[in-house]
Amino acid sequence: MTMTQSTDTGSIQERSLNTLFDCLASGNRRRLLGILSERAPHSLTQRDLATYLVPGYHSDTEDRDSDADVQQALRAVHHTHLPKLEAAGLIERDPDRETMAITDHLAFEDGGIVSATDPDSDADSASLDRLFRALADIRRRTVLDVLSHQLSPIHTETLARELGARERDIPESEVPTDTVDEILMDLTHVHLPHLVDAGLIAYDTDEQTVAYEGHPQLPVPWMHSVLQPEFRQSLTGESDPDGIGEIEGREQVISFGQSLCDRADEELFCMFTDTQLLEAGCLTRIRDAARERDADVYLGTRDPVVREYIQENAPEVILWEPNTDWLNLPAAGDRVGRLLLADREAVMLGTLLDQGTDGVHDEQAMVGEGEHNTLVTTICQLLRPHLEEIDNDTDDIAARLPL
């Protein structure tokens, strides 16, 4: 997804998202949102909210001498947390009753944010603080988007040039040298340290190279400044995303494919027929599906480097080798490049188009969502023998999967 606004001016949407992520970069504010969500549609007073920030206050061993702690929490709620929550549009106050309630903000429809604000979540709060703090800047989100689409580490100057091109909507060759130098300085001293601290990138200061690392709780749409309910429409241009959508362009195909890896909770079946197709963002999300969410993951690839990475970092993933001419499309002269099926309810079928001077194919894809979606049903029918092997827990599944 191309971003045409500079980081100096920024769009209203981008500034709003900066404010949202900055607000969420506090475990206490996320806890307050979770409590308000649990109590919705009822509202709570400031003191009610403050008591939830005092450890043990609502437990069976409640300490009635903790009023001083409540007063301290109340000051933090009044002077810090509520103003930020209001600025982000996440809560609204009733001035007559002096109570607070959550709004109908789109963030509350995003599964990742709902999970992060769950008061009973066992997620590492400090890690989430660093994640949201890193995301609270459009340039850092763009850096993550760029790196997640790379096959290998890139030089910081290359990254700076691509950022300059994206932010000004011009070809990389037209980005002035002084602009590249300014962005590079900003990256080195401000943005890369934030992203490293959040565990989102690897930065080799000696070689001056950067690579995507990812985070198990970082959904793809957050890097695109689009919250989940609008993500597919932003890539396909559909007004009603219930049928079969079409995505044009390699960058957009990669983004939607990575989002499917994000959403797989039970099973992820994927195939990549070209060695140029498994980008860093894909690999980390395949890894996280298997390791963090305990999904059954089946990965078809012939790339020895990828196979070695998976064997070392996600041995739970079942590897198999696809036939590179599987599902030829003679009418269009294209061939399948990517196939991802998440929980047998969402699918992306990507085909390779012309090859560029850099040896990388342009791409397009068809996408469908829903158990009874025509594309989902068709792909499941094509894969039926292999899915049956999986369902039957057949020994040596990998040996039976080549297509």
Residue 154 contacts residue 208 (beta carbons within 8 Å): no
Q: What is the pLDDT of residue 276?
A: 80
Q: What is the CATH number of the domain that holds 264?
A: 3.30.870.10
Q: How confident is the model at residue 392 (pLDDT cuts 50, 70, 90)?
A: low
Average pLDDT over residues 309-324: 82
Q: How confident is the model at residue 337 (pLDDT cuts 50, 70, 90)?
A: confident
The answer to whether residue 239 scores a pLDDT higher than 90 is: no
Residue 31 contacts residue 24 (beta carbons within 8 Å): no
Q: How confident is the model at residue 339 (pLDDT cuts 50, 70, 90)?
A: very high
Same domain, 249 and 113: no
Which of 156, 151, 90, 110 is CA-nearest to residue 278? 151
The residue out of 131, 154, 185 marking a domain boundary is: 131
The answer to whether residue 403 scores a pLDDT higher than 50 is: no
Average pLDDT over residues 352-370: 88
Average pLDDT over residues 96-124: 89
Q: How confident is the model at residue 202 (pLDDT cuts 50, 70, 90)?
A: very high
Same domain, 127 and 255: no
pLDDT (tens digit per residue) in 258-274: 999 999 999 999 988 87
Residue type, 251: E
d(CA 217, CA 130): 12
Residue showing tokens 């429809």:
109
Write out the residue range of the structural domain in which residue 21 sits. Answer: 12-131
Same domain, 384 and 251: yes
The answer to whether residue 5 scores a pLDDT higher than 80 is: no
Tokens linked to 269:
């079946």
pLDDT (tens digit per residue) in 60-104: 555 555 688 889 999 999 999 999 999 999 999 888 778 999 999
d(CA 222, CA 18): 11
The residue out of 131, 151, 178 marking a domain boundary is: 131
In a domain, 368, yes or no: yes
In a domain, 110, yes or no: yes
In a domain, 53, yes or no: yes
Same domain, 127 and 249: no
Average pLDDT over residues 107-112: 89
Residue 297 contacts residue 286 (beta carbons within 8 Å): yes
The answer to whether residue 244 scores a pLDDT higher than 80 is: yes
Same domain, 249 and 390: yes
pLDDT (tens digit per residue) in 9-30: 346 778 899 999 999 999 999 9
Q: How confident is the model at residue 191 (pLDDT cuts 50, 70, 90)?
A: very high
What integer best gives the mean pLDDT of the chain? 86
Q: What is the pLDDT of residue 96?
A: 79
Same domain, 122 and 254: no
In a domain, 188, yes or no: no
Q: What is the pLDDT of residue 7?
A: 43
In a domain, 4, yes or no: no
pLDDT (tens digit per residue) in 34-64: 999 998 888 999 999 999 998 877 755 555 5
Same domain, 127 and 250: no
In a domain, 144, yes or no: no
Q: What is the pLDDT of residue 64?
A: 53
d(CA 169, CA 164): 8
Q: What is the pLDDT of residue 358?
A: 76
The DSSP code for 188 is I
**Straight-line distance from the first to the last Cα atom of the chain, in angstroms, rounded to the nearest whole number:** 32
The torsion of the CA quartet 211, 217, 220, 226, rounded to 10 degrees, works out to -130
Same domain, 127 and 262: no
In a domain, 123, yes or no: yes
Q: What is the pLDDT of residue 332?
A: 42
Neighbours of 99 (CB within 10 A): 16
Q: What is the pLDDT of residue 310?
A: 87
In this prediction, what percent of the chain has a pLDDT beyond 90? Answer: 60
Q: What is the pLDDT of residue 327?
A: 47
The residue out of 72, 102, 131 marking a domain boundary is: 131
Same domain, 123 and 249: no
Domain total of the chain? 2
Q: How many CA atoms lie within 13 A of 117 on its CB side?
A: 25
Residue 73 contacts residue 54 (beta carbons within 8 Å): yes
The answer to whether residue 336 scores a pLDDT higher than 60 is: yes
Q: What is the pLDDT of residue 90?
A: 96
Q: What is the pLDDT of residue 210?
A: 98
Same domain, 253 and 122: no
In a domain, 319, yes or no: yes
Average pLDDT over residues 291-301: 91
